[in-house]
Amino acid sequence: MEEAKGARSARSGGASAESHHPAACDGALAKAFTFLGKRWNGVILATLQHGPLGYAELRRAVEGISDSVLSERLSELSAAGLTLREVKTGPPITVRYRLTPDGTALMPILGELAGWASRHLPDTPTVSRRGSHG
């Protein structure tokens, strides 16, 4: 990610946080947040940990997410290899999304994150902005 420094791309901007600054954060962590820092990705991944779900099931489970964003997110997560889109030819034809092993490997960490939030985050939503995952 150090070479991303010159690019100053708004996209990979966070990824270049490592850069050359002594206080900058780890490049790998920045990369992690490339996904987890986008709204809904964490919740979508966590929602899939109990087993594959169809698009409509996901839409209902991830309350608050819009169709277009869900579609976009699933596309990105699949492209990144964290989820897998499975089509069964039926009848009836079914489409489901499941976690890949890479995606599944994240679950224990998300569990710890939940524990941290329970213990360390204020109960009242003091955050003013849209958390990417509500």
Nearer to DNA, 66 or 108 (CB): 66
The token pair at 37 is: 């820092």
Least distance (Å) from DNA to the CB of residue 87?
A: 8
Q: Which of residues 37-76 bind its own copies (CB under 8 A)?
A: 37-43, 46-47, 49-51, 53, 57-58, 60-65, 72, 76
Long-range contacts of residues 32-38, Cβ cutoff 8 Å, at least 24 apart? 35/76, 35/77, 35/80, 35/82, 36/132, 37/132, 38/73, 38/76, 38/132
Nearer to its own copies, 47 or 95 (CB): 47
Q: Which of residues 51-90 bind DNA (CB under 7 A)?
A: 54-57, 64-69, 71-72, 74-75, 85, 90
Which partner, its own copies, DNA, none, binds residue 68 by CB below 5 to 8 Å per kind?
DNA
Q: Are 3 and 23 in contact (CB under 8 A)?
A: no
| Straight-line distance from the first to the last Cα atom of the chain, in angstroms, rounded to the nearest whole number | 29
CA nearest to 24, candidates 13, 40, 35, 38 = 13
Q: Residues in the site for DNA, rule: CB under 7 A?
A: 8, 10-11, 13, 38-40, 54-57, 64-69, 71-72, 74-75, 85, 90-96, 128-130, 132
